[in-house]
Amino acid sequence: MSTPNKTERALVVLSGGQDSTTCLYWAIQRFGRDAVEAVTFDYGQRHRVELTAARHIAQMAGVRQTVLPIDTFGAMGGNALTAADIEPEQGARDDADTALPNTFVPGRNLVFLTFAAALAWQKGMEHVVTGVAQTDYSGYPDCRENTLKALELAIRLGMDSRVQLHAPLMFMSKAETVKLAQQVGAMEALAYSHTCYNGAVPPCGVCASCELRAKGFLEAGVADPLVVRTGAGA
């Protein structure tokens, strides 16, 4: 990846989770704090703690945050992240399971990145950063590299733009993302991140997201700062 021009700026899609927080600090290291902003989407998610986490992390990082309301996903429902009557699947998924989990929100990343690119266009920003990864992506097709490449092309054509979509974690395991978080100085902020599918604080420890996160920190040999801060499992 080429070294960015000092005048280039980046917009980070910040959900308040582990991956997007790591990417925010990656962008700060790469582009400089003054050249980075965050965008968070209020998409009707049932666990509003995500929005609180994103706001707090943006403040900790010292970057400007824009919150965009897009409640269509909540209106459609049909998944465990927006519908109150659907409980998230528990535990890690079997590699042989090809069915999409009920935490998949169809079209979410496509819409997020399109809106983020539109906001970046309005702000004259050249880069959009997202925390998606196809290595540990729970079967979500909109987290794959080929999806992002196709979307980037469509955005460039549709907006007459040269925006670049960056996914620094695309081929990293969760353990590798933990090590990257250490390298870019994101560990303190990760103590306030939220990834639990059940919306629990302290994290529930049993949903697929909690198990994946715990596995990553265990394999990296690093204590999860969120678990330390909240006393989870104590």
d(CA 228, CA 231): 5
143 is in an annotated binding site: no
Cβ atoms < 10 Å from Cβ of 17: 21
210 is in an annotated binding site: yes
d(CA 55, CA 209): 21
169 is in an annotated binding site: no
21 is in an annotated binding site: yes
207 is in an annotated binding site: yes
204 is in an annotated binding site: yes
Q: Identify which of 168, 135, 148, 131 has the alpha carbon closest to the alpha carbon of residue 18.
A: 131
24 is in an annotated binding site: yes
177 is in an annotated binding site: no
CA distances 147 to 41, 67, 109, Å, are 20, 24, 10
16 is in an annotated binding site: yes
59 is in an annotated binding site: no
22 is in an annotated binding site: yes
233 is in an annotated binding site: no
17 is in an annotated binding site: yes
Q: Is 134 left (phi over 0), alpha (psi -120 to 50) or beta?
A: alpha
d(CA 141, CA 15): 18
Binding-site sequence positions: 14-24, 196, 204, 207, 210
Binding-site sequence positions for Zn(2+): 196, 204, 207, 210
Binding-site sequence positions for ATP: 14-24
